[in-house]
């Protein structure tokens, strides 16, 4: 089977590619409930830059997902699975409206149209976001809560969900959308996500570098580790259309962590030296956007479908240390 991953050079994309290569096959359950292993013959890894994974089964391609002709060349009738991760993240989409619309909205439409043109109904997973929820929300968000995004990124993701839903209804794809918690701890350099501080206040201090905390310490966020998110991506692909039913969007499990709790975990693992590198520097723009996001979810439906989250924030930080030993400069207590 041929698999296309957009945003494949990003940190989640690269982790997903590695997980698929390690498995060597992908198990998909059809509408009748029959599960079948499909050997992975090719993974097309597409992004604005080329991915770094070298393997005979991986084709690294770069280009503009906002260009319809480029996207049309990524999919053929051998493409059985599409994972759509490509996106301009929240802070960047808010700062550059045109770029967010081109990548997050036009890019998604281009990809869906390419699937429709081929006419073979590939299975498509769309990485949405909990940023589709915002504003005046209930204390706990459920799958029945109406999405009311308060930022361009969340709006663009919600439109993408609706397109996936409609293209599935029309029989063009077998689509499913997952609303991903804030991924932390994110490895590598900071990106334009407004939520980037949630990773930065762990990642940078453990590397011996100062980190800025732009929001109050009582700020709460719904989070999941990259490991758990990739595991849930694979599970979402495996499930049958009947498991999803008519509604193809779901809130993925995670858990609530406040910045106070995150700093306490940093102290537990990296000691006082790590915590001393966290500098409180309020940023009104970041605070304004983050304050509209939901932080507490009831994900009973996802859990009943077999999705599993991390157990606690300490597990997340320890997993980051284990996966990124070369980036950790301070002594750690695991």
CATH of the domain at 85: 3.40.50.720
Residue 31 DSSP class = T
**Inside any domain, residue 129:** yes
Region 242-258 average pLDDT? 96
Region 177-199 average pLDDT? 90
Spatial distance between the Cα atoms of 151 and 91, rounded to a whole number of angstroms: 9
**Inside any domain, residue 31:** yes
pLDDT at 202: 97
Work out the number of other CB atoms within 10 angstroms of the CB of residue 257. 22
User: 242 and 260, same structural domain?
Assistant: no
- The pLDDT > 70 percentage for the chain reads 100
pLDDT at 77: 96
Spatial distance between the Cα atoms of 208 and 331, rounded to a whole number of angstroms: 10
Region 116-145 average pLDDT? 95
User: 270 and 198, same structural domain?
Assistant: yes
Region 56-77 average pLDDT? 97
Q: Answer yes or no: is pLDDT of 192 > 80.
A: no
User: 84 and 117, same structural domain?
Assistant: yes
pLDDT at 301: 95
Q: Which residues, in sequence order, are CB contacts of 325 under 8 Å at separation 6+? A: none
User: 239 and 112, same structural domain?
Assistant: yes
Q: Which residues, in sequence order, are CB contacts of 148 under 8 Å at separation 6+? A: 133, 134, 135, 136, 137
Is residue 320 flagged as an active site residue?
no
Hunting for tokens 């002594």 — which residue is that? 331
User: 155 and 214, same structural domain?
Assistant: no
Spatial distance between the Cα atoms of 256 and 184, rounded to a whole number of angstroms: 12
pLDDT at 194: 81
Do you find a cis peptide bond into 98, omega within 30 degrees of 0?
no
pLDDT at 317: 97
Which residues constitute the domain of residue 266?
194-220+255-327
**Angle subtended at Cα 206 by Cα 202 and Cα 208, rounded to the nearest 5 degrees:** 125
Region 30-49 average pLDDT? 95
User: Over the stretch 237-249, which tens digit does the pLDDT of each residue have?
Assistant: 999 999 999 999 9
User: 309 and 277, same structural domain?
Assistant: yes
User: 129 and 208, same structural domain?
Assistant: no
pLDDT interval class at 251 (50, 70, 90): very high
Q: Answer yes or no: is pLDDT of 318 > 90.
A: yes
**Of the candidates 99, 161, 108, 109, which has an alpha carbon nearest to the alpha carbon of residue 131?**
161
Work out whether the CA dihedral 207, 213, 218, 220 comes out positive or negative: negative
pLDDT at 324: 93
Report the CATH number at residue 208.
3.90.25.10
Region 227-252 average pLDDT? 97
pLDDT interval class at 217 (50, 70, 90): very high
Q: Are 137 and 148 in contact (CB under 8 A)?
A: yes
Q: Are 104 and 87 in contact (CB under 8 A)?
A: yes
pLDDT interval class at 181 (50, 70, 90): very high
**Inside any domain, residue 93:** yes
User: Over the stretch 286-314, which tens digit does the pLDDT of each residue have?
Assistant: 998 888 889 999 999 999 999 999 989 99
**Inside any domain, residue 12:** yes
**Angle subtended at Cα 230 by Cα 324 and Cα 330, rounded to the nearest 5 degrees:** 15
Spatial distance between the Cα atoms of 27 and 6, rounded to a whole number of angstroms: 20
**Inside any domain, residue 175:** yes
User: 271 and 243, same structural domain?
Assistant: no
Mean pLDDT value across the chain? 95
For the chain, the domain total comes to: 2
**Inside any domain, residue 241:** yes
Work out whether the CA dihedral 214, 334, 264, 260 comes out positive or negative: positive
Region 17-37 average pLDDT? 95
Residue ranges of the alpha helices (H) in 216-276? Answer: 226-238, 241-244, 259-275
Question: Is 27 in a helix, a strand, or coil?
Answer: strand
Residues in the chain: 334
pLDDT at 247: 95
Q: Which of 46, 126, 133, 153 is catalytic?
A: 153
Q: In whole angstroms, how large is the CA radius of gyration of the chain?
A: 19
**Inside any domain, residue 230:** yes
User: 165 and 133, same structural domain?
Assistant: yes
Q: Answer yes or no: is pLDDT of 191 > 90.
A: no
**Inside any domain, residue 10:** yes
User: 247 and 288, same structural domain?
Assistant: no
User: 203 and 116, same structural domain?
Assistant: no
User: 76 and 34, same structural domain?
Assistant: yes
Region 47-74 average pLDDT? 97
pLDDT at 112: 98
């Amino acid at each position: 089977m041929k698999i296309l991953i957009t945003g494949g050079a990003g940190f989640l994309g690269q982790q997903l590619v590695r997980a698929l290569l390690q498995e060597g096959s992908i198990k998909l359950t059809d509408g009748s409930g029959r599960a079948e292993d499909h050997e992975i013959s090719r993974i097309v890894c597409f992004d604005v830059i080329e991915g770094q994974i070298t393997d005979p089964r991986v084709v690294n391609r770069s280009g503009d997902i906002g260009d319809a002709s480029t996207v049309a060349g990524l999919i053929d009738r051998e493409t059985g699975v599409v994972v759509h991760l490509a996106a301009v993240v929240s802070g960047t989409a808010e700062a550059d409206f045109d770029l967010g619309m081109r990548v997050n909205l036009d890019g998604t439409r281009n990809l869906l149209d390419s699937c429709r043109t081929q006419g073979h109904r590939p299975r498509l997973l769309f990485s949405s976001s909990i940023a589709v929820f915002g504003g005046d929300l209930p204390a706990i968000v459920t799958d029945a809560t109406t999405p009311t995004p308060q930022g361009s990124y969340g709006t663009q993701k919600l439109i993408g969900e609706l397109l996936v839903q409609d293209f599935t209804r029309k029989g063009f794809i077998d689509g499913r959308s997952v609303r991903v918690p804030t991924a932390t701890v994110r490895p590598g350099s900071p990106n334009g996500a407004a939520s980037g501080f949630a990773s930065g206040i762990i990642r940078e201090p453990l590397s011996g570098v100062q980190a800025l905390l732009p929001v109050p310490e009582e700020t709460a966020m719904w989070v999941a580790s990259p490991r758990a998110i990739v595991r849930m991506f694979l599970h979402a692909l495996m499930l049958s259309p009947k498991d999803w039913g008519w509604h193809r969007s779901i809130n993925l499990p995670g858990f609530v962590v406040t910045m106070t709790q995150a700093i306490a975990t940093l102290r537990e693992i990296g000691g006082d030296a790590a915590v001393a590198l966290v500098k409180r520097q309020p940023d009104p723009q970041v605070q304004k956007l983050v304050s509209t996001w939901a932080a507490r979810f009831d994900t009973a439906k996802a859990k009943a479908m077999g999705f599993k989250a991390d157990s606690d924030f300490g597990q997340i930080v320890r997993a980051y240390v284990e996966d990124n030993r070369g980036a950790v400069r301070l002594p750690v207590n695991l």
